[in-house]
Structure 1
Amino acid sequence: MTDYSQLIDDETWDFIRTTDAAYPPDTATLTIADQRAIYDRMCRLFFRGYPPGVTAADRMFGGVPCRIYPGDGAVVVYFHGGGFVVGGLHSHDDVCAEIRARTGHTVVAVDYRLSPEHPHPAAFDDACAATRAVADEIGGPMVLAGDSAGGNLAAAVAQAIGRNGALGIVGQVLIYPGLGGRRGEGSYVTHAHAPMLTAADIAFYAGIRHGGVAPEAPDATVSPLADTDFSGLPPTLAIAAECDPLADDAPAYAAKIVAAGGVAVAVTEPGLVHGYLRARSSVGRAARSFDRICAGIAALVKGTFPEEVPT
């Protein structure tokens, strides 16, 4: 069994304990309504407000509720995490506000439909519809970004409608994404019982996403790693947390893009756990990773990726 006492530093353990107190590890056994309420309260506990000068307004893009943080001519379309079951415009509100402040770019957070009320492909369809509408109504260079389930959606959108610079998509930033790696191998085994997210949690949320019925055949809109064509994808920064069952997905995805002739950089953040974006103001390792995320977005927009991304 992995010895997390050696991998995880004291700051991160404090973050884990604070999270567990607000969002107990057995939360997945509760009703969906209770899970959402507990998750929202936990996210609010870590809410840090907006940086000076950042504003936001709710509006529709492509028939999908979104929140826009106005900035300059470039735009970041952000898909939140939450296992396709929890989260929304409020759960990642300050994350998006800080990305806006750090990069200067407009950020659009997408409030895609959640399971089990809306099983796959509802979230994917909403992500595509919102992205198309943002490209049409705002324009300019666009970066797709997201964490966890949102990283899955960003990658799936890029593969479906963002190849070869379509819609002005100039890059994607995937933060501890779940991309459909093989669950019986690698990090899915070595980090099966990691703090913050376990292999059992991943299986639980995958079942809800599909109404308990697994896809009959590999589907890249579900598992981007299942695609057979990785050509023409936008330059990609794929970031994994070391202490996470999903840790192998980001580097595996980046490797497939590079093998297809594209540009991708994979970074595995040492000693960090799933959900560490909420620790960006309290954990040094998480703060440095958030620096990398914002630098990656800025470099993708400027066309200087990956040279201007700290590794």
Structure 2
Amino acid sequence: MDYDALIDTETWDFIRRTRETYPDDPAGRTLEEERAAYDAMCAVFRAPRPDVVDVQDVTARDVPVRVYSAGAPSRTVVYFHGGGFVVGGLDSHDDVCAEICVQTGYRVVAVDYRLAPEHKHPAAFDDAYAATCWAETEFGDPIILAGDSAGGNLAAAVAQHARGRLTCIMGQVLIYPGLGGDVDAGSYIEHADAPLLQRVYLVQYAGVRAEDGKAPTSDATYAPLQGIDFSNLPPTIVFSAECDPVRDDGQVYCDRIRASGGKAHWICEQGLVHGYLRARRTVARAQDSFERIVVAIEALGQEVWPYD
């Protein structure tokens, strides 16, 4: 793959800055070093939190969450951070959540779900679902689920599990989610050596959450694409990066929702790479995508579907 032709100079600068603190290859790093490196990398790109945002760290049914609000919100976004289910937390995506809050006017609940490998499946999913239930009870607002990478997986898993259980979910916005697609086909092969995320590490860590180290094959709370029923899901908008092995997961997921009679729209962001949310302040393509993401969240909260 000729990434020099696909990726512009600004994005290459973002890739280089990322690799300075968080090299692609995790080999040789302990778990503590891996998490410290990820946190340091996120700090490099972190933007100041807007002054108008009120932030509270609270506990939601034993799950730590951070609640962002500005004014008098009438909608709640429940946001799940990325990090491969192994790294990340409330601080890694603090600025992203704060900016979503300011730009939409919605409350944002960021969820600090338990991480693997200490906490095996379904720990992360259980925390994600518990926090969503808490948000429904605590605020009584309609909810939009959102998340990036592993967080996109959790948002989709919650949406599927919530059918017939919760009535508050108005939609979901997934950002370069890994949903458990076929690692031997499509973008997993086409972009196996993509900058910042390579297929070999996806395969290597596929079972990191599993009790026996082997990923299940029919558990939609582990990997939403393992589900067999995609009907009655909320309106769904998925943003994928072109240069990303998990790119096709978003397209396949949207295709299955539409085939089951639902609303879903897939956007493939040209020339972007996994993790581009952190580039939204320095890369024009990433900034444009973030604006589309915010518009998508706001639109779903207003029951607007702008993609027909």
What percent identity do the matched residue pairs reach?
Answer: 56
AA in 2 matched with 1:9: D
d(CA) in 2 for partners of 1:240 and 1:105? 23
Give the corresponding residue for 1:56. 55
d(CA) in 1 for partners of 2:28 and 2:209? 16
| Structure 1 residue 273, shift from structure 2 partner | 0.1
Q: Structure 1 residues 28, 148: closer, same or farther in 2, change over 3 A?
A: farther
Query: For the Cα contact (< 8 Å) 1:142–1:171, is it kept in 2?
Result: yes
d(CA) in 2 for partners of 1:232 and 1:77? 20
Runs of 4+, deviation exceeding 4 Å: none
| Structure 1 residue 263, shift from structure 2 partner | 0.4
Give the corresponding residue for 1:222. 222
Give the corresponding residue for 1:44. 43
Deviations 1:221-260 (A, max 9, x none): 1110111101110000011000000000001101110110
d(CA) in 1 for partners of 2:65 and 2:187? 34
Match runs of 1:103-182 below 5 Å: 103-161=104-162, 163=163, 166-182=166-182
| Structure 1 residue 212, shift from structure 2 partner | 5.1
Q: How many residues align?
A: 306
TM-score (norm 2): 0.96
Pair 1:3 & 2:7 matched: no
- Greater shift in the superposed pair: 73-82 or 29-38: 29-38
| Structure 1 residue 42, shift from structure 2 partner | 0.6
SS of equivalent to 1:241: strand
Deviations 1:188-229 (A, max 9, x none): 001001000001121233232224521454211111011110
Give the corresponding residue for 1:280. 280
Deviations 1:34-92 (A, max 9, x none): 10001001101101111230121100112100000024010000000000000000000
d(CA) in 2 for partners of 1:86 and 1:271? 25
Match runs of 1:53-92 below 5 Å: 53-71=52-70, 72-92=73-93
AA in 1 matched with 2:254: A
Pair 1:25 & 2:31 matched: no
d(CA) in 2 for partners of 1:222 and 1:158? 13
- The runs of 5 or more residues in structure 2 that have no matched partner are none
Give the CA RMSD over aligned residues: 1.4
Query: For the Cα contact (< 8 Å) 1:164–1:234, is it kept in 2?
Result: no
Give the corresponding residue for 2:244. 244
d(CA) in 1 for partners of 2:305 and 2:50? 26
d(CA) in 1 for partners of 2:94 and 2:244? 24
d(CA) in 1 for partners of 2:188 and 2:28? 21
Give the corresponding residue for 2:202. 202
d(CA) in 2 for partners of 1:62 and 1:131? 10
Q: Structure 1 residues 152, 165: closer, same or farther in 2, change over 3 A?
A: same
AA in 2 matched with 1:117: E
